[in-house]
A and B are shown apart, each in its own frame.
Chain A
Amino acid sequence: EDQVTQSPEALRLQEGESSSLNCSYTVSGLRGLFWYRQDPGKGPEFLFTLYSAGEEKEKERLKATLTKKESFLHITAPKPEDSATYLCAVFLARGGPGGGSEKLVFGKGTKLTVNP
């Protein structure tokens, strides 16, 4: 069974206190790993895609990395506006584009709160 596990479930940081969120996965047919940000009552907002082990992507205070079994989202010197739930999702594509199974499998997310 395809599984995506995120930890911790919730994280409280002080402004400027760097930390990392973890996403581990057990899937077959992985085509990519995605990080999304979700604000309360809103849709997931795309942040990063990682396709292969060793790949890294950066955007402002966020940096995502990928190994064969897990991904990390590093947050450097966070600000209160970084408070949100961060979702990890794996994209499974079996059978080729348009010809089979293509879907995102999400973890439960990490709720990040950054206090001023």
Chain B
Amino acid sequence: EPEVTQTPSHQVTQMGQEVILRCVPISNHLYFYWYRQILGQKVEFLVSFYNNEISEKSEIFDDQFSVERPDGSNFTLKIRSTKLEDSAMYFCASLGDTTYEQYFGPGTRLTVT
């Protein structure tokens, strides 16, 4: 069964460093998303991406964040200069064009020290 994959599963970084989180969406999906979940809190929308451009971004997704689909399979989230409050689980999700069902990856746990 097709699934969304994410790497790494856990990333530890120092405050101010750049991190890139990687996702491989389901192969025939067209819409891609990043969400985050701070420990003990709800899953929050960050950004949606379609046709090689951002469709929508939340208030959280400021200039420190960027997304890219560098090739036909990967979808990345970059945080330019990490802050302590960026520590969270980051989930990638993808969506096909026949239903509204978003499928999530296993997540990357980002710890900023």
CB within 8 Å of B: which residues of A?
31-32, 34, 36, 41-46, 49, 51, 87, 89, 91, 93, 97-109
Bound: A45/B89 CA distance, A: 15
Which 9 A-B residue pairs are closest in the complex by CB-CB distance? A43-B104, A106-B43, A103-B45, A98-B50, A32-B100, A101-B56, A108-B42, A44-B104, A43-B106
Q: Is the CB of B99 within 8 A of A49?
A: yes
Q: Give 1 or 0 for each of B6-48: 1 = CB within 8 Å of chain A CB.
A: 1000000000000000000000001101010000011111001
Which A residues are CB-close (under 8 A) to B35? 104
Bound: A52/B109 CA distance, A: 35
8 Å CB contact of A98 from B51, B105, B106: B51
Q: Is the CB of A102 within 8 A of B48?
A: yes
Which A residues are CB-close (under 8 A) to B107? 41-43
8 Å CB contact of B91 from A44, A98, A103, A105: A44
A50 to chain B, nearest CB (A): 11
Q: Is the CB of B41 within 8 A of A100?
A: no
Bound: A100/B44 CA distance, A: 18
Q: Is the CB of B102 within 8 A of A104?
A: yes
Bound: A101/B31 CA distance, A: 12
Given A43-B105, A101-B56, A49–B100 Cβ distance below 8 Å? yes
Q: Is the CB of B48 within 8 A of A45?
A: no
Q: Is the CB of B55 within 8 A of A98?
A: yes
A92 to chain B, nearest CB (A): 9
Of A43, A89, A100, A103, the most chain B CB neighbours within 10 A belong to A43
Q: Is the CB of B104 within 8 A of A97?
A: no
Q: Which residue of B lies closest to A42 (CB)?
A: B106
Bound: A28/B41 CA distance, A: 23
Which B residues are CB-close (under 8 A) to A100? 55-56
Please list 23 pairs of residues, one from A and one from B, whose beta carbons are closer than 8 Å in the complex, sorted by A's number.
A34-B101, A34-B102, A42-B107, A43-B91, A43-B104, A43-B105, A44-B104, A89-B43, A91-B100, A91-B102, A100-B55, A100-B56, A101-B48, A101-B55, A102-B55, A102-B95, A103-B48, A103-B56, A103-B58, A104-B35, A106-B42, A108-B41, A109-B42
